[in-house]
A = this chain, B = another copy of it.
Amino acid sequence: MSYKSDIEIAREAKKRPIQEIGAKLDIPSDHLLPYGHDKAKVSQEYINSVQGNADGKLILVTAINPTPAGEGKTTTTVGLGDGLNRIGKRAAICIREASLGPCFGMKGGAAGGGYAQVVPMEEMNLHFTGDFHAITSAHNLLSAMIDNHIYWGNELGIDERRVVWRRVLDMNDRALRDIVTSLGGVANGFPRQTGFDITVASEVMAILCLANDLSDLQRRLGDIIVAYTRAKEPITCRDIKADGAMTVLLKDATQPNLVQTLENNPAFVHGGPFANIAHGCNSVIATRTALKLADYVVTEAGFGADLGAEKFMNIKCRKAGLAPSVVVVVATVRAMKMNGGVAKADLGAENVNAVKAGCPNLGRHIENVKQFGVPVVVAINHFVTDTDAEVQAVKDYVAEMGSEAILCQHWEKGSEGTEALATRVAEIADKDESNFAPLYGDDLSLLEKVECVAKRIYRADEVLADQKIRNQLKEWEDAGYGNLPVCMAKTQYSFTTDPNRRGAPTGHSVPIREVRLSAGAGFVVVICGEIMTMPGLPRVPAAEAIMLNEAGQIEGLF
């Protein structure tokens, strides 16, 4: 049996005009700002007008630690949204926007897969509605204004060696990681070493995704620390007077984007912060808007539950006052086998014992999510080679943990394949049994917050931090930033900081390599391992094969 590719399925999509999709959520077409016929932004005015509505139920889709076998988190988010609509619920999904740069390195990503996708796929992988370009502009305006301030006399006394605000481009360009600027003489300013990150790594991205509204956005932008004086006093974006113009540049980008699933159900696709040095969730504004318009909102968080769900709960929900009603943990039989020690090449053969051996990774995530007081359901994202015995092994394991695992076939069948999951998820959500609370209080010290996550989520024995790091955290606490949550940046492939340790290890240490203050976004980034904020292109970039075909369709992007 042969299957169609994601792009073939997406091209066959019978898209409805975006006004019809908006109408499913009662958004009047006047309040949809169209971008072509299949994309729109929901106007800020309309968002303001629905603030009195009751909130729908929030459902988080997260996953086991990712493996090369794939787990299908976005696919399941889309499938569950379609499944809820299929059983008669008014449901919407909220996912992140894709970054343009990486599409020219490795292939671009579909939003979902098989018969559980969001369209228009090409636009979502290219310029979409321009949000990331607006972030790039806003970020680089601040950069230009910092160097301009120094150029014209440096009234604020910025120490050129301590400018911490870099520049960004939505491009994989290793040559820009580490550069010296302002060469060429007096007219070009004071030479200094700096660099570019990719746009999704910008603090402006994190801010846009955590802001409540435009005035909160401007306040947060103003709070960004861009440099320090020789006396190590912080200089903020507000000191540079860039916050107003940056807000103007981000005015349109702040409004959430509406598109549709293959089954013509509403999908909000808005924001896309890094899941390591930032919190990795779509925007608060999109999630909140969806909750005001739909009875059930399905959203996802980046990476596995140890990073994505943890940050969703401890950062996004804490700060935005959100509370998930139920969490869906996505697992696949193939990923369980890899966690059980099987190599990728051998995944095709039935191996029930390997499935069983890998299940503790899933079990750990289930336990972790329950620590936040939220009910858990496991979605087994079915792959065509999975055997009944293997699927049953996962179900049995989850049942032993007191939870429930439901087989889903949305990749192959669309919403028909998620009816059972949707029904169960809606039942749980409707019971209002969730008793959500973040894992730690605001009042713990920054290091205690790291230890809390490391011990209770990663199951590490200890956190290793040298004196320099401890001093830095202490300094920030003294400066009034002690109440911020921590944003952990570690490998997504393991509970440990070693990407090769699959399963459910214990007894390890979590060494802190570096800490960074994102004062505007409102968290302290704790870096445990190598974090790349400007990717490079591979030997043969995908871009070499990207082109328009005779029919004007885009080839090579997927």
* A residues at B contact (CB < 8 Å): 30, 33-37, 44, 100, 104, 126-127, 130, 133-134, 136-137, 140-141, 143-145, 147-148, 151-153, 167, 169-184, 187-189, 193, 195, 214, 218, 241-242, 244-245, 247-249, 251-252, 536-537, 539, 541, 543-548, 552, 554, 556-557
Contact = CB atoms under 8 A, between A and B. Distances in A.
Contact of A171 (B144, B214, B247, B541): B144
Given A248-B554, A548-B248, A537 B148 contact: yes
A286 B62 CA distance: 47
A273 B372 CA distance: 56
A540 to B, nearest CB: 8
B248 A148 contact: no
A480 B545 CA distance: 29
A241 B542 CA distance: 10
Given A180-B183, A218-B548, 6 more contacts: A127-B249, A141-B543, A148-B541, A177-B182, A244-B548, A245-B546
Contacts of A249: 126-127
Contacts of A167: 176
A124 to B, nearest CB: 13
A455 to B, nearest CB: 34
A548 B251 contact: yes
19 contacts: A30-B37, A34-B35, A34-B36, A100-B137, A104-B145, A127-B134, A127-B137, A127-B252, A130-B133, A133-B136, A133-B137, A137-B170, A144-B173, A153-B539, A174-B182, A174-B189, A175-B189, A183-B193, A244-B546
A168 B186 CA distance: 21
B127 A545 contact: no
Contacts of A193: 183
B188 A173 contact: no
A244 B182 contact: no
A193 B152 CA distance: 25
Contact of A244 (B36, B176, B545): B545
A363 B485 CA distance: 71
A126 B178 contact: no
Contacts of A33: 36-37
Contacts of A170: 137
Given A130-B127, A130-B130, A547-B245, A537 B144 contact: yes
A148 B144 CA distance: 26
Contacts of A244: 543-548, 556
A30 B181 CA distance: 47
B178 A183 contact: yes
List the 8 shortest-distance A-B pairs measured between CB atoms, nearest first: A244-B547, A178-B184, A133-B133, A245-B543, A144-B173, A245-B546, A147-B175, A241-B544
A242 to B, nearest CB: 6
Contact of A188 (B127, B144, B153, B177): B177
A74 to B, nearest CB: 23
A30 to B, nearest CB: 8
B248 A547 contact: yes
Contacts of A556: 244-245
A190 to B, nearest CB: 8
A133 B128 CA distance: 12
A144 B126 contact: no
A539 B127 contact: no
B171 A176 contact: no
A188 B214 contact: no
A172 to B, nearest CB: 6
A178 B140 CA distance: 17
Contacts of A153: 539
A322 to B, nearest CB: 25
Given A134-B127, A247-B548, A178 B182 contact: yes
B148 A547 contact: no
Nearest to A142: B543
Contact of A169 (B140, B179, B241, B543): B140
Nearest to A249: B126
B130 A144 contact: no
A174 B145 contact: no
Contacts of A30: 37
A171 B141 CA distance: 7
A140 B36 contact: no
A173 B147 contact: yes
A539 B554 CA distance: 45
A245 B557 CA distance: 9
Contacts of A180: 179-180, 183
B144 A172 contact: yes
A125 to B, nearest CB: 10
Nearest to A184: B178
B181 A179 contact: yes
A187 to B, nearest CB: 7
Contacts of A34: 34-37
A77 to B, nearest CB: 27
Nearest to A253: B127
Nearest to A37: B33
A144 B177 CA distance: 12
B547 A247 contact: yes
A174 B152 contact: no
